Structure 1
């Protein structure tokens, strides 16, 4: 029987070998022989996606919108991830929330609703990466997932869309009526200029016999 225990580290994880409270080495996937008094802590390093809680953020026009951000991240340094802080991702979430407030302070609610997903991602991702590196995390990207406007503003937008649709429908009806009137006017002018054609149309309109 061996005096030295062994451990198998799976793909997608790292194992920290501690001896007398000190990290002796970081074990890669495979089978390893441990020190006699070793304590092992496993760390999952697969990429994952977490979504922040809805963050209520004031816009430039004084409207409070609720925004959530999805963060794609993974553990880059297992030892720093374990030893630096109790909740490593809390640092990343805080950086995302602060960057979100800074990004929205100059935007109106309409700008946020229309362009948040396209314009905010880069700034938020950079802030998250800066906060993540010291705690052993790599951030692969962020996405503005949900933008929730106040109920009154959503109702106003819905009414605006409905009004635009009704106006477009009325415009199409008016165009059709104008085209019909123009056709009738052209026909009347043609009949005035050609009496024989007018008589022919009259004959055609009479019932048989």
Structure 2
């Protein structure tokens, strides 16, 4: 009895005789005799052309089959992006592939991974699906980036997201922060001209303006710190302690000027600088406190004597006026009498005189010579 084989419209049959491929069978109904050594493999044309344990090269001699297939050879230095009807369907790594060009239209984009940057025609939605095959670098909105191939500088990168193939070329991106930055020097020991050792806290703000020059300097922040340290030592070493304490603002201005003299060399411009603290040794601090206390006491003594002199002079002037004016003298007596009465709870009168006469007796009369 004949064996009936039906091939649907979305299928193709591959006819084998004694294990060797013979030809492709189009949709239809076929019958094989029971004693026939032929065998038919039915494959879907909706899927890539793949037969387990069969090499693609076994089928490439069939011109009829090749009219319906798209054969893609991917070299060792390539990736191939496959699209079905314009939609991304996958990425092909080195090897041989075949796809049916019947019900679907397959297109391919080749990428030479010796050139690490992804082709410009690959949109952002597709790039996210290529993550296993790519290196992804991001440059923030406040940064600039430097692109290196095999540690060799290629170009400066603006803010954005960048994709590069994982391949024979080593890709790296270094970023530089373009925001205002701060350099803190804390507890730096220095010696003044009069051999006083102190600790200085200093701060300065700066902004990087030439990123590539900064990247060319190894340990940029460390070298910047050393430059600031040397500048401050140069200034502090020329001043006595009293002068330094008096000229803190001049120290900041000097450091800012000297740093900006090197801005072209190091690729950064310095905006502000200032002394946060000058920390003195304990014994020096005690001496200064003693001196300050003595100065304040001397100032207080001078002020006290000045006030006593002014008070004495005022009393003398008042006495002269009262001596020259009898009425003023009597008013002053009444003023003092009023103050005395404010502190007295009760007044007892004795004798027969009236109140006014007794008060006159109490006060007495000013004798005239």
Range into which the TM-score falls when normalised by the shorter chain = 0.7 to 0.9
> Structure 1 runs of 4+ off > 6 angstroms?
203-207
Q: Secondary structure at the match of 1:62?
A: coil
Which deviations, in whole Å up to 9, do the C-alpha atoms of 1:23-63 show, x marking residues without a partner?
Answer: 21111124556577533222222111121132222212221
Residue 169 and residue 45 in structure 1: after superposition, are their counterparts in 2 closer, same or farther (change >3 A)? same
* Unaligned stretches of 5+ residues in structure 1: none
Question: Distance in 2 between the 1:29 and 1:202 partners?
Answer: 92
Q: Taking structure 1 as reference, are residues 127 and 173 closer, same or farther at Cα in structure 2, changes over 3 Å only?
A: closer
Cα RMSD for the two superposed structures: 3.1
User: Deviation per CA, 1:82-137, whole angstroms, max 9, x where unpaired?
Assistant: 2331x112222222121112212221101111212x21223322333345543433
1:194 CA drift (Å):
4.2
User: Counterpart of 1:162 in 2: which secondary structure?
Assistant: helix
Structure 2, unpaired ranges of 5+: 1-80, 82-90, 92-110, 112-117, 119-133, 342-354, 359-369
Name 2:247's counterpart in structure 1: 115
**Kept in 1: contact 2:183–2:225 (CA 8 A):** no
For residues 78 and 161 of structure 1, the distance between their equivalents in structure 2, rounded to whole angstroms, comes to 50
2:306 corresponds to which of 158, 162, 175? 175
- Could you tell me whether the CA contact under 8 Å between 1:95 and 1:131 is conserved in 2? no
Matches within 5 A, 1:60-139: 60-85=193-218, 87-116=219-248, 118-131=249-262, 133-139=264-270
- Identify which range, 195-204 or 145-154, moves more after superposition: 195-204
Compared CA separation, residues 198 and 45, structure 1 to 2 (3 A): closer
Q: Which residue of 2 aligns with 1:28?
A: 158
**1:134 and 1:183 mapped to 2: Cα distance?**
71
- Report the equivalent of 1:9: 139
Aligned length: 207
Greater C-alpha Rg: 2
Between Structure 1 and Structure 2, which shows a larger proportion of strand residues?
2
Higher helix proportion: 1
Q: Report the counterpart of residue 18 of structure 1 in structure 2.
A: 148
Kindly indicate whether the alpha-carbon contact (under 8 Å) linking 1:18 and 1:39 is maintained by their aligned counterparts in 2. Answer: yes
